[in-house]
A and B are shown apart, each in its own frame.
Chain A
Amino acid sequence: MSDRMLTMAEAVREAMTIAFDERPEVFLLGEDVGIYGGAFGVSGDMYHRYGSERVLDTPIAELGIVGAAVGAALSGMRPIVEIQFSDFTAQAMDQIANQAAKIHFMLGGALHVPMVLRTPQGSGTGAAAQHSQNLEPWFASVPGLKVVVPSNPADAKGLLLASIDDPNPVIFLEHKLLYKIPGRDPVPEGSGRIPLGVAKVVREGKDLTIVATGIMVNKSYEVCEKLAAEGISITLIDPRTISPLDMQPVYESVEKTGRLMVVQEGPAHAGFINEVIAQMAGSSSFGSLIAPIKRLAGMNIPIPYAPQLEKAAVPQIEDIEAAAREIVKNWR
C-alpha cells in the first residue's frame, strides 16, 4: 500500500499513461513536456515511453498550442494540453473561451471538443504576480467549460481519467505546491474514474461546514484535525469540480451544522467561492444557518514576491483556524 502514496505529479502522470494505453487518439502537447519532462516534472519519462509523436514539444506559442488542440479534438483526436503556468492561459484565452467552450453549443451540436487543458496554478513559490495566480473564476464563469480542481493525488488520477473521457473541454487546475507531496490516501491501482460534478465529503463533523477548493482543502483539513482535539468537529467538503458544481452535500451538511465557512486561494472579489455562498443563500437550507457565512479568500491584490508578502496575500492555516474557532465560539 505504501508504494501507492504517490505525489500529485505522479498521479497525474499515471492517469495520462493509462489514457495513452487505452486510446491511441490521446496525446500530450505543450512547452517542454518532452525531454525536459515538463516544467514541474509531470510528464516525466512519457516522452521516452511514447515518443515524440504522442508527446509533442511545442514552441512557446500558447494560442497556437491550444488552438491546435481544439482543432485536433474536433477532428477525432483527444489532446491533453499542458500550459506551463495557468497565468499563460491568458495568451490562449480566445481558443479556450471563445472557441473550445462555445463550439458545441453555437454550432448546434455539430461538433464537440474532447480536450483537456492541464495547468499548474497558485502561489507559494516566490514566482510573483505573473506566475502565481489562482484563476478558478476565469474558467468557472465561462459556460461550456468543465473545471476540475483536484486537491489530492488519488482524486487527481480519477478525475483526470474522467476528464479525458469527457466529450467536452475540461480545464484541469493543478496546484504547484501539491505536485511534490504525497497525499493522505494511497492512489488506487487501475483505471477507476471519478465522475465530474460530484463533491467529496472529506470528513464529517457537527459544528461547522467548510467548503474549500484545491490546496485550501489540505490547509482546512489540518485545521479540522487540530480543532477536533479541542472538541470542535467540522465537516469538510471538496467540490472537486467547480463547474459543474455539486451543492447537495453542502446543503445537507449545513442543515446539521448551522455554520458555513468557505475558503479559496484566489482574491475574494468575484471569486469562485462566492458562487457557493450565492447558491446557499438561495436554497431552502439557508434557514438552517445560525451564523453569518464566513468567507476566507486571498487579498484583492496581485500575488507579491517576497515570502512575507506572499504569505499575507492568501489564507494560511492559522487564518483558517482562527476563523473556524471564532465562528463556532461566537455563534451558538
Chain B
Amino acid sequence: MSTNPLVMGHPLASTENARHALLYMCRIRKFEEAVEDLFGRGMMHGTMHLSIGQEASPTGMCMALTIQDQITSTHRGHGHCIAKGADLTRMIAELLGKEIGYCGGRGGSMHIADVETGNLGANGVVGGGIPIAAGAALASKMMKKGTVAVSFFGDGAMNEGAFHEAANLAAIWKLPMILFCENNKYGMSSSTEKAFAIDDLADRGKGYGIPGVNVNGNDVVEVYEAAQIAVDRAKKGEGPTLIIAETYRWKGHSRSDKNLYRTKEEIEEWRLLDPIPKFIARAIKQKKLTQEQCDAIQQEATDAIVAAVNEAVKAKAADPAGLLDAVFKKVSA
C-alpha cells in the first residue's frame, strides 16, 4: 500500500537518492495540481491548502527519517504525507470522501494520518500538532524506541501558545524532537514582518535553550543536511532543534484567498526559485541524474497521480451508516 521503504540519506549521495528526492518533490507538486483540478471541477468538497512551491522542505526532512520516525503535520499537509510515504490513492480517495480514504471520508484534506509511515496526522488547528509531537517524542524516550518525532508547522503557528509550551517541554526533557517551521512568509494574510518583532525566527531557539537554524527551504539538499544534524542530535539524547526553512506558497492560503496582502511581483519572484528545476540542475551537474532520467521521473510522478485519481474516483463513497460506531475505539472485552 504505502510506498515504503523510503530512501534515506543525502539527496546527492547516489542516483537512487537523487531519484527519490526528485520523484517525491514531483509527486507532491503533481498531487497538489490534481487537487486544484478536482476542486475546480467541483469534484472535491470543502477547502484545500496547497503547498506548491514548498515541496523541498518535507522531502528533505523526511529523507533523514526512518519509516518508524514520527511526524505531525498541518492544514497544509499533503506534502508531509507524501514525503513520509503515504499511498496516493488513499489520499485522493479521502479528499473525494471515499470509503478507502485514509479517514474513511470522515477527515478530508486536513486530517490525513498514516500510522504505517509514522504520520500521526495533519491538523486543522494551527499549532495543534506541536505538543503532540513532543508527546510522541516523550513516548519514544520513555519506551526507548530510538525514534524521533518531527512537528511540521508554519510561521504563523510560532505565535500560538502551543508552540511555546511544546518547545519548552521538549527542551527541558531533552526530547528527541524536531520543530520544523515552514516559513512561507505568511500566516494567511499576516506577514512575518507584521506578526513578529524579531527578524530571524530561528532566534526563538535561544529562548528555549535549543539550537535554532535557518535553511533555504527551497533547497532539498540544504534542508536534508540540517535535518540530518537535528536527527542525529535528537537520537543521541541531546534534545530538540528548531529548523526554520524559508520557502513560499505560490497559491492562495485556501480556496477563498484574493491575495490582497502580497504583490504579483513577489509571487513571480518566488516562482523563479522553484525547488524542482533547482534540484534537477544540481543533480545533473553532479552526474547523479541525466536529463532523460529527470524527464522520466517527472513523468513517473504524473502517471502515479493520474492512476491514483482514476482509482480513487471509481472507489465506493463513504457510507453514513457506520458513523455512530466510529467515535470510540471499542473497549476490548
Contact = CB atoms under 8 A, between A and B. Distances in A.
Contacts of A37: 260
B194 interface: yes
Interface of B: 45-47, 94, 97-98, 103, 105-108, 110-111, 123-128, 156-157, 159-162, 187-190, 194-196, 256-258, 260-261, 317-320, 323-324, 326-327
Interface of A: 31-32, 34-37, 39, 57-64, 87-88, 91, 125-131, 299-302, 304-309, 311-313
B188 A128 contact: no
A308 B125 CA distance: 24
Residue of A60, A62, A64 with highest tally of chain B CB at under 10 A: A60
B124 A130 contact: yes
A87 B105 contact: no
B106 A309 contact: yes
Contact of A301 (B107, B196, B323): B323
Contact of A36 (B105, B128, B260, B324): B260
A308 B106 CA distance: 10
What are the 5 A-B residue pairs with the smallest beta carbon separation, nearest first?
A306-B97, A126-B46, A305-B108, A130-B124, A312-B320
Q: Is the interface of A mostly helix, strand, loop or mixed?
A: loop
A57 B186 CA distance: 13
Given A36-B260, A125-B47, A309-B105, 11 more contacts: A34-B189, A36-B188, A36-B257, A58-B190, A59-B195, A60-B188, A61-B161, A127-B108, A305-B107, A308-B318, A311-B320
Contacts of B111: 128-130, 305
A209 to B, nearest CB: 29
A36 B259 CA distance: 8
B105 A39 contact: no
A295 to B, nearest CB: 16
A253 B195 CA distance: 53
25 contacts: A32-B188, A32-B189, A32-B190, A36-B189, A36-B257, A36-B261, A39-B256, A59-B190, A59-B196, A60-B127, A60-B157, A60-B188, A129-B111, A130-B125, A299-B324, A300-B327, A304-B323, A306-B106, A306-B317, A308-B318, A308-B320, A309-B318, A309-B320, A312-B320, A313-B320
B190 A126 contact: no
Contact of B107 (A64, A88, A129): A129
Nearest to B123: A130
Contacts of A302: 327
A35 B189 contact: yes
Contacts of A313: 320, 323
B187 A305 contact: no
Nearest to B162: A91
A304 B111 CA distance: 11
B151 to A, nearest CB: 16
B41 to A, nearest CB: 15
